[in-house]
Amino acid sequence: MGRRGMSHYAHCVIILFGICFCSVSLISAAAGTVPTDTSTSILIRVDQFGNGDFEKIQDAIDAVPSNNSKFVFIRIKPGTYREKIVVPADKPFVTLSGARASNTIITWNDGGDIFYSPTLTVLASDFVGRFLTIQNTFGTTERAVALRVAGDRAAFYGCRIRSYQDTLLDDAGNHYYRKCYIEGATDFICGNAASIYERCRLHSLSTQNGSLTAQHRSSPSEKTGFTFLGCKITGIGHAFLGRPWGAYSRVIFAQTYISDVIVPQGWDDWQDQNKHSTVYYGEYKCYGPGADTSKRVQWSQSLSENQAAPFMTIDMIGGRSWLRRTPSHFKRFTGSIASVMNANEND
């Protein structure tokens, strides 16, 4: 980022990272479900070559008990894991952590339905994904989701999320993405979550008329929407910033570098002019050759500082109550989570 808008951006970063910094785990806000020791996590190792507790990621997740109440840190050693993975709703407090996204890859090849095609589906609350590549290699002919996030209070750090159509189904809940690379062509960030994307790179594969976002807010009472803060937009052809999957679709780009991949009009109405009066599409202090708003559609907005401010803080996603640092102590997995918990109680 250049000097343009740096002072206000720095202020927002202080707001955003006064509570969390880089690698974090999450804590539930619901009474009675918070792990009593937030500094300690149970460590499960996954190594496809047999030098860990499990060879498959799904097997490690399956080892977490239903209604889990402990932080579980699943450390995935480098490799390419050809798995279709689900983190069930009854298994909160799970972290999947790779070594680096470049060498820790989760891949599958499925297309068609957005709810059944994902390579990784997260239904559980209080989930963290770190330093992983999550990809769907199905191709260009069908919707093919790489990652679906439907659990509340989920965060992703340094991940690479790759497909072509509907790459990231940011489905429901409050979510946070930091320094992630997200690639696709058509509606490749879609869904109805309330999410902040901080310093992420959005890379469009669209040759023409593709869309980065398709946010699905369907009512003015829903507190959902996507904020892209300090991000970078690149690509190979031409694309729109977004189009309205829902009538009250809400997307904000703030202090983001926009390359000339974005067409001058900026936004598409999905051939429904009735949505012009209900969508909320805003830009605030963006820069780059695609950031000129003089030819933007009239139903989008250039936001003032006061208008943009509510979308540039973790309060938008309730983050002050659930973003936490990564545990500093680890208990080794000994065959079952219950045995580790019992051993801890007897210490």
Q: What is the DSSP string of 227-283?
A: EEES-EEEESS-EEEE--SSTT-EEEEES-EE-TTB-TT-B--TT-GGGGGT-EEEE
Which listed residue (126, 152, 171, 187) is catalytic?
A: 187
CA atoms within 13 A on the CB side of 264: 2
The CA distance from 302 to 284, in Å, is 6
C-alpha–C-alpha distance, residues 315 and 236, integer Å: 35
The continuous run of DSSP H or E covering 59 comes out as helix 57-62
3 state SS of 290: coil
Residue tagged active-site, from 166, 170, 268, 269: 166
Cβ atoms within 10 Å, residue 43: 20
Q: Which residues contact 120 (CB under 8 A, 6 or more apart)?
A: 85, 86, 87, 106, 129, 134, 146, 147, 148
The gap from C-alpha 177 to its chain's centroid, in whole angstroms, comes to: 4
Contact 98, 65 (CB under 8 A): no
Q: Where are the alpha helices (DSSP H) in 51-94?
A: 57-62
Alpha-carbon distances, residue 115 vs 31, 112, 145, 160, 265 (angstroms):
30, 9, 8, 20, 31
Q: For residue 125, what is the DSSP state?
A: S
Any idea which residue has 């990809």 for tokens? 135
Residue 166 annotated as catalytic: yes
CB count in 10 Å sphere of residue 200: 24
**From CA 206, how far away is CA 240, in angstroms rounded?**
9
Residue 335 and residue 311: Cα distance in Å, rounded? Answer: 44
- 59 flagged as catalytic: no
- The CA distance from 19 to 194, in Å, is 18
Catalytic residue annotation: 166, 187
